[in-house]
């Protein structure tokens, strides 16, 4: 199964590819606006990739925050159990 980050990257590539194909088809159908369409594509493709890159980074940040929260909870649980075991050990030693 693909991770969210990989799905974003694949979606970005598909959107950029389809935009390029559509732009090229239209530019061959309408040769008088070919330069305009290719100029728009030149501007549009980096924007599409940048948006995908930003979404991908946000996905990684979100996953990292979730992982840190899980680790913090696990550390708190371990500290609590450690305290309980220390108290039990003290009682047995007395």
pLDDT tens for each residue of 20-65: 888 888 888 888 888 888 888 888 888 888 888 887 787 778 888 8
pLDDT the model gives residue 52: 80
Look-up: residue for tokens 């159990």?
A: 81
**Main-chain dihedrals φ then ψ at residue 30, nearest 5 degrees:** -115, 80
Instruction: Give pTM, 2 decimals.
Output: 0.54
pLDDT tens per residue, range 67-76: 888 999 999 9
Instruction: Evaluate if residue 8 carries a pLDDT over 90.
Output: no
Domain boundaries, the chain: 4-93
Which pLDDT does position 27 carry in this prediction? 82
| Residue 3 token pair | 């991770």
Give the other-Cβ count within 10 Å of 89's Cβ.
10
Residue from 26, 63, 29, 59 nearest 44 by CA: 26
């Amino acid at each position: 199964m693909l991770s969210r980050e990989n799905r974003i990257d694949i979606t970005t590539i598909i959107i950029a590819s389809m935009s390029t194909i559509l732009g090229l088809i239209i530019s061959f159908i309408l040769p008088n606006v070919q330069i305009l369409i290719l100029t728009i594509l030149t501007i549009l493709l980096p924007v599409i990739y940048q948006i995908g890159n930003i979404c991908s980074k946000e996905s990684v940040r979100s996953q990292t925050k979730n992982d840190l929260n899980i680790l913090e909870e696990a550390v708190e649980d371990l500290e609590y159990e450690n305290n309980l075991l220390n108290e039990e050990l003290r009682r047995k030693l007395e």
